[in-house]
Amino acid sequence: MQEHHDLPPLPVLPEEPPPYRSVLAALFLRPFLALQAVRAHRRWLAPVLILLIMAFLAALLKVMLTLPGIVSETRVIASHLGKAAGAVWFEQGRLHWQADWELPHTIRVNLWRFDFASQPKAFPPDYELASSVEPRGLLLEPASVTLWMREKGNDRQVLRVQLLAGDKLAALGRHASAMAGGADGRLDEAALASHAQAVCVAMTPFLLAYHTLVRIKPLLLSMFIFMLTAVVFRREWRESPGSLWTVALHCCIPPFLLALIYSFFDFPGWSFQEMFLVAFLFYLVYIYIDTRAFLPPKPPEDL
């Protein structure tokens, strides 16, 4: 007759929580013991802070590495536009340029395309922009400034986003005129480059927030995957939502660190999110293997 054998009891943990640095080290070496410790003591605040600090520091380093290049390229583009347009100014919330072009007029610089027109209907259609050598550009007319770019993975589709119009364009005009310093508020080549540099520097907090959120976003999906896996396969982790949440947070730390390091090498092929999800799935397999190592062999079946 075959007897039913329950799962063996889990290791008995001390009442006092172990030092957290030991828990962090165990996450990489013996994840089963680390997860059992944090599950029992429900340390959820520490991993939240660690993940947020890691994401913020990685975003800060990314901005520090990329901002000088962005500022330099923006100055080159703005200087080229200022030289071609002669001068740029704002009057009654509308954009004006000095050059007497036959509109519509196109300027190409550093893989950016700038189309000037008197009204939106005069801009090139999407199929013409999609076939352009430049993957992105700006559509400028007196009442608005629109960004366009080809969709990633589909070069035939063009995405248009209106950046400035109405009050936003008027506010930019007032700021630019104040920086120009002249009585007419016109921006020449040098003034336009300086204004573009000031705008890039002012955007630093937004770039920092963007890169931080990009790194936090895949954490939510990975924790959902882990919780679903735990509910289906690991009944001892279902004792309370708090303990399950704590374990899920700690499971994100090792693959998150690996993906952050990977993101700074700029290897082609995988994005940060893809690398993190793959590392997270492999870490789940590692946890499963480490868990089996702590379980005693199954007793032989009695006939």
Q: Do 32 and 12 form a contact (C-beta atoms < 8 A)?
A: no
pLDDT at 4: 45
Q: Are residues 181 and 238 in the same domain?
A: no
- What distance lies between CA 136 and its chain's CA centroid? 20
C-alpha distances out from residue 154 to 45, 113, 147, 274, Å: 42, 19, 17, 19
Residue 215 is assigned to a structural domain of this protein:
yes
Nearest-angstrom CA–CA distance, 239 and 231: 10
pLDDT at 2: 46
Nearest-angstrom CA–CA distance, 287 and 27: 9
pLDDT at 234: 62
- Whether the model clears a pTM of 0.85, i.e. scores above it, the answer is no
Single out the residue in 156, 187, 218 at which a domain terminates: 187
Tokens standing for residue 278:
């793959």
Residue 160 is assigned to a structural domain of this protein:
yes
Residue 111 is assigned to a structural domain of this protein:
yes
pLDDT at 236: 59
Give the three-class secondary structure for 72.
helix
pLDDT at 5: 47
Tokens standing for residue 75:
């100055």
What is the mean pLDDT, run by run of 10 residues, along the chain of 303 residues? 48 66 89 83 85 95 92 91 86 86 89 91 89 90 91 78 85 75 72 87 92 91 80 64 83 92 79 88 88 70 55
Supply the range of the domain harboring residue 144.
87-187
pLDDT at 164: 85
Number of folded domains in the chain? 2
Pick from 291, 235, 283: which is nearest to 257 by CA?
Answer: 283
Size (the chain), residues: 303
Residue 11 is assigned to a structural domain of this protein:
no
Q: Are residues 43 and 105 in the same domain?
A: no
pLDDT at 93: 80
pLDDT at 298: 64
